[in-house]
Chains A and B, each alone.
Chain A
Amino acid sequence: MGKKRIHREDERCSGCLSCAIACSVFNFDEANPSKSYIKLKIDERKERFHISIDEERCKLCGECIKACYYNALRWEDEAPRS
């Protein structure tokens, strides 16, 4: 079996940064979206977001998926939620 992957859907992202905050709290004991393994590139003018994950360092803890309220993140082998 290959390594689990986190599937991202930029179109569903609301820009709330809950994923990045959850990641940093879990992994670094501090709330800090600048330090997290998951990051958002934000185009503020158009309110568009690009989600990226540092796959080398990500521990696949899944905290970001649990924190996402907009179904922009899921395990790749799971069916999309509506």
Chain B
Amino acid sequence: MRLLVVDLESKTFEYIMDESLRHSFIGGVGVNTYLMYRFTEEGVTPFDRGNDLFFSPGAFVGTGVPTASRCEVSAISPTGYFGTSNTGGRVGLAIRQCGIDTIWIRGKSESPVYLVIDEGGVFFKDGDLLWGKDTFETTSILKEREGGDTCVVCIGQAGERGVHFASIHGEFYHAFGRTGLGAIMGGKMLKAICLKGQKGIKIRDKRQLKELTEKIRNRLISSDTFGYTRRYGSMVVSDVYNRLGILPGHNYRKGSYENWEETRGRRVFEERYKIRDLACVSCPIGCMHWSKVRDGIYDGYETKGLEVTFALEFGGKLDIQDIPQIFQCVELCNRFGMDVISTSSVIAYAIELFEKGFLKEKDIGFKIAFGDFDSIYKLILMIGRNEGIGNILGKGIRAMKEEFKGSDSFACEIKGVEMPVRDPRGRFDPWMLGLFINVRGGDHLRIRTPVDDLKPFVNDYKYEPLSLKQEAVELLDIPEKIKEAIMGTPPSRIDIVAMTKYGEDYLTLLNACGMCIRPPVLRTIGPSILAEAFNTLFGYGLDDEDLLTISERIVNMAHLFNLKRGLTLGEYRYPERFYSEGIEYSGKTHPPLDRKKVEEMLLRYCELRGWDEKGQVKKETMERLKLWKR
């Protein structure tokens, strides 16, 4: 692997070659995690000069392996813990076309700077005139200045101003959204990175790669989830969430809305707004869409979307009932460079604080309410501009709850990261156990399983029914021993804890390879096919078990990183609301979570991970995974 190390203080750069990184950590999140674990000095805080920022495309990105486009950015998050985020589009390819596998940003610049990188090296350019511009303006200016084919990765004003959930954006719409790494980039006064390389990736055996590509593509297309995912994108699940009563409505107090499907459902999106299918690099699924508003005051407005996250956050959590208004909220977040989930979450929390009298009209300057687009839009503006109450909201829910004592119960964050998209009370499956276990904190994208499903069932905190059709079960690529242990013989149910652990290793592996995590991939591409791809491209002769061991190593390194920074198992929990209140949906109520049973599941997860009951990594696990002590 070829790492480009850029020092923002001395304005110098160097290349490091280290092929062992590929063999031991694959790429993407694996390499970033290792570099953070190995090289972050003791006591470094998020905005210190010693908090390095890493960009690494997954190992398969740019080679034509279907869906391999994803790129990972990592650093210590403003939360103080391991921060990492992932995006698709063309950013990962553009990095690899500069002839590099990782960009390692060190130090802080004294004044705003942007980088131009190509296969020859790095140019440090004055970023003064870009400072204060939003991500769309910055990208447009830099494409004009550096050439239209330049891939621009940048921050908006939120990153410059240290908003704790600031994001980093590539090509206008692709966000490295979660864990606030835009604020870290802003703290370094690094406004943008322009990628201009035109280098290729040498292919070892083009015949073998072609066969592999066709095999992966055929498997993806044969999944029963393929057609729906192309047609609706992530919006495919919008209606189901409402029917199951697992929407995060009004800060997790309303699990469904009577008019959801007519206002924010998948059909409305498809029939009224969707125009064209769009895809990330090398992807046959094409889950993204270009949309256009055709009436009302936003008539003629065009954008990328609608992602279900946008619908579930601004539509579900904040109850904005009009898709064009949801588009406006998302565009504002994109322009400022702020994570959509955290932005809507801090606003939901603020509105509940207002309803309960913790916040007064005089503190804000106006009344705020769920469903009130105008006040919500104004709050987004205030956060992005660090104005008034926006200053407090921009620090995130964990900091806010210190200011509003007595509101912990409904402060919906985990490990300092705002909770996303789904309520766990209606369906406590591996996805929902994973939502508080995963390394990022309140997040839904780091533990997913090959059998993710949304059929209703009664929580028993042990098993989830396996409701996949026989053909779908046959397409699963899970090592046989693991499959039997988790799903029984013949496969009939899912051991939730065991699947959560496997789902975390599996997702980490997909991320390290740079693969997408949409349902057609989850259902059909697993460790044995990934090993085949890895060997085709790099020739190490690794098998599925080797890859899962590497993945476990990555998960454990990130965990060790967090333990060192003060994380304890005490933070592995949902906010109090979820254990003491039910949630209403369609005239019914999902009961609160059973605290004792959830805690038992956590302890069993620790056992399966090879951790002790306090979450410390046992010596034998350290040895098995070759986790070298720092």
CA distance A21 to B140 in the complex (A): 26
Residue numbers in B under 8 Å from A29 (CB-CB): 202-203, 206
* Contact yes or no, A14 B281, CB < 8 A: no
* Contact yes or no, B209 A25, CB < 8 A: yes
Query: Is B93 in contact with chain A by the CB < 8 A criterion?
Result: yes
Instruction: Give the contacts of A47-72 with B (CB-CB under 8 A).
Output: 47, 67, 69-70
Selected A-B contacts with CB under 8 Å, 7 pairs: A16-B283, A17-B282, A30-B202, A31-B63, A47-B173, A47-B278, A69-B284
Of A14, A25, A70, most buried by chain B (CB within 10 Å of CB) is: A14
CA distance A7 to B409 in the complex (A): 60
* Contact yes or no, B277 A44, CB < 8 A: no
Query: Is A4 in contact with chain B by the CB < 8 A criterion?
Result: no
* Contact yes or no, A21 B62, CB < 8 A: yes
CA distance A16 to B64 in the complex (A): 10
* Contact yes or no, A26 B206, CB < 8 A: yes
Query: Is A45 in contact with chain B by the CB < 8 A criterion?
Result: yes
Residue numbers in A under 8 Å from B281 (CB-CB): 16-17, 21
* Contact yes or no, A24 B286, CB < 8 A: no
Of A18, A21, A31, most buried by chain B (CB within 10 Å of CB) is: A31
Chain A residues within CB distance 8 Å of chain B: 11, 14-18, 21-22, 24-26, 28-35, 42, 44-47, 67, 69-70
Interface locus among B178-186, B193-201, B366-374, B470-478 = B193-201
Chain B interface SS verdict (over half): loop
With A18-B64, A26-B206, A45-B136 in contact, do A31 and B200 touch (Cβ < 8 Å)?
Answer: yes
CA distance A16 to B213 in the complex (A): 14
Give chain B nearest CB distance to A9 CB in angstroms: 12
Chain B interface bracket (under 10, 10 to 19, 20 to 34, 35 or more): 35 or more
Chain A interface SS verdict (over half): loop
Chain B residue nearest to A21 (CB atoms) is: B64
Residue numbers in B under 8 Å from A21 (CB-CB): 62-64, 281-282
Residue numbers in B under 8 Å from A33 (CB-CB): 93
CA distance A32 to B198 in the complex (A): 7
Query: Is B317 in contact with chain A by the CB < 8 A criterion?
Result: no
* Contact yes or no, A44 B282, CB < 8 A: no
Give chain B nearest CB distance to A26 CB in angstroms: 7
Which of B136, B203, B290, B302 sits near A31, CB closer than 8 Å?
B203
Give chain B nearest CB distance to A34 CB in angstroms: 4
Chain B residue nearest to A43 (CB atoms) is: B148
Query: Is B231 in contact with chain A by the CB < 8 A criterion?
Result: no
* Contact yes or no, A32 B200, CB < 8 A: yes
* Contact yes or no, B217 A69, CB < 8 A: yes
Give chain A nearest CB distance to B165 CB in angstroms: 24
Residue numbers in A under 8 Å from B64 (CB-CB): 18, 21-22, 25, 31, 67
* Contact yes or no, B278 A15, CB < 8 A: yes
Residue numbers in A under 8 Å from B136 (CB-CB): 45
CA distance A29 to B200 in the complex (A): 9
Residue numbers in B under 8 Å from A32 (CB-CB): 97, 198-201
CA distance A11 to B277 in the complex (A): 10
With A18-B282, A69-B284, A70-B286 in contact, do A30 and B200 touch (Cβ < 8 Å)?
Answer: yes
* Contact yes or no, B277 A17, CB < 8 A: no
* Contact yes or no, A44 B139, CB < 8 A: yes
Residue numbers in B under 8 Å from A42 (CB-CB): 90, 149
Which of A15, A31, A35 sits near B62, CB closer than 8 Å?
A31
* Contact yes or no, B302 A25, CB < 8 A: no
Residue numbers in B under 8 Å from A26 (CB-CB): 206
Residue-wise interface mask of B (131-148) relative to A, using a CB-CB cutoff of 8 A (1 in contact, 0 not): 000001001100100000
Residue numbers in B under 8 Å from A14 (CB-CB): 276-279, 283, 286
With A17-B282, A18-B284, A29-B206 in contact, do A47 and B304 touch (Cβ < 8 Å)?
Answer: yes
Residue-wise interface mask of B (543-577) relative to A, using a CB-CB cutoff of 8 A (1 in contact, 0 not): 00000000000000000000000000000000000
With A31-B62, A34-B97, A44-B139 in contact, do A69 and B200 touch (Cβ < 8 Å)?
Answer: no
